[in-house]
Amino acid sequence: MTTAEDFRKFGKEMIDYLADYMENIADRKVVSEVTPGYLRPLMAENVPNEPANYKEVMEDLEKLIMPGITHWQHPNFHAYFSAGRGYPSILADLVSASFGCNGFSWAASPAYTELEMQMVDWTAKLINLPDQFLLSHEGPGGGVLQGTASESCLVVLLAARNEYQKRTGDEVNNFSRLVGYTSEYAHSSVDRAGLLAGVTIRHLDTDENFALNGETLKIAIAKDKKAGLIPCFCCATLGTTTSVAFDHLDEIGKVCNEEDVWLHVDAAYAGAAFACEEYVHLMKGVERVDSFVLNLHKLLLVGFDCAALWLKDSRRLTDEFNVNPVYLSHENKTTIPDYRHWQIPLGKRFRALKVWFTLRLYGVSGVQTHIRQHVHLAKVFEKLARENCSIEIVAPVILGLVCFRMLGTDEENELLLKNILKEGKIHLVPSRLNGRFMFRFAICDGNREEDIVYGYNIIKEQVSKLKNKSEIEKK
């Protein structure tokens, strides 16, 4: 397929194939059943000498690749947080791929930079961030589209680390005295960022709602300073992966501001909810933070990967990442952002295009309806589970996640999960709260109310089987 005519013909066929896939996804098994290494024996050892035709490739896509796909948009997928897959985003990715540009600077392709500037401001306004984070606001704030919240955490931690060293002139012995802080339920990407940046990350205990508070952070900082260590970074989470807990941002912000510690907010999943006024109170204190990240590829219907990272003072990031060889220089470099200074890679895909398509074609009202539907479906599952005397809800249900477990031992709950996954009708993943094994039932984009009821009934049936077996064994 090398000509424009081939592209027209097969492109239309591909759109039909994908539309059929998405419309009929419920006919497929939600979880792949292949074993590790399944694909290599089914494929040629080397690149074919002669080109295949489009029909052959599509037949192999269905025969070889589809069996190894776990279908995240399946109505019975409840394992991880929702993965955005709006039709507007898919079409925008097609347009972006057709342009084939590399947006490392304004000069490389002006629309890449200028649309991104507008989209990070649009999104900041959508989720009610303070004006100080806007590029259009008079001040040094602004935003950038990164790949993921994980990548963003590393970027700001590197900036915080390097900034401290430059400000103090302290060599810090390869950064070994620097310390960062986060909740015991923070995402593992914070640990990974610490490993890559060479900064020790402390996991701090949380309260009865699994949230980090300011007093705990204050005590930890004082202890480390007394030991000769240097607190430089804190990551607060608004909507933890384990249970969607919201750290006490206002309290944490006061401590970080007093101690001159960079405060980063990971709102990868839950940040989208701030588009709805009833959830804005959960980010009280956001004006105190230095950086804030949201994954648009979760609740905001944008396809993976696309994360928005905002900074109160973008110079704290760009000053650390600024490298200017002659071949990347241009006469407008001092009047408009060059996003290569805001990120780890030099190049950039046209992520802003899929944000633009999505927000234009859904609008604020469409985004809000989508988020509120997720919350409604979580409440449906919560109500059913609370009516079952063999199931307990183990964390507050705030957004689209319900944490539950069967009354009994961890071993019994682990067996319950094994039985559910072996049956293969729904997909769940476990976690732990207060050391206890539990289940996360996530609401995803393909879910409807009847799917939630179906998923609950599968769980209920497996719980009953285990309980009945246990009673028989006791007798």
* Under 8 Å between Cβ of 307 and 151: yes
Q: How far is CA 404 from the centre of its chain?
A: 22
Percentage helix, strand, coil, to 5, in the chain?
A: 50, 15, 35
Q: What is the pLDDT of residue 328?
A: 61
pLDDT, tens digit (0-9, with 9 covering 90-100), for 252-282: 999 999 999 999 999 999 999 999 999 999 9
3-state secondary structure of 2: coil
- Please name each of the domains of the chain with its CATH number: 101-349 (3.40.640.10), 359-474 (3.90.1150.10)
Residue 319: cis peptide before it, omega within 30 degrees of 0: no
Q: What is the pLDDT of residue 176?
A: 81
Give me the DSSP letters along 289-323. -SEEEEETTSTT-PPSS-EEEEESSTHHHHHHH--
> Distance between CA 193 and CA 177 in Å, rounded?
16
Q: What is the pLDDT of residue 324?
A: 65
pLDDT, tens digit (0-9, with 9 covering 90-100), for 412-431: 999 999 999 999 999 999 99
Q: What is the pLDDT of residue 169?
A: 65
Structure tokens at 167: 């400000």
- The segments of the chain whose pLDDT lies below 50 read none
* Under 8 Å between Cβ of 346 and 321: no
Q: What is the pLDDT of residue 303?
A: 92
- Of residues 200, 195, 186, the one with CA closest to residue 233: 200
Q: What is the pLDDT of residue 361?
A: 95
SS3 letters across 107-171: CCCHHHHHHHHHHHHHHHHHCCCCHHHCCCCCCCCEEEEECCHHHHHHHHHHHHHHHHHHHHCCC
The pTM assigned to this predicted structure is 0.93
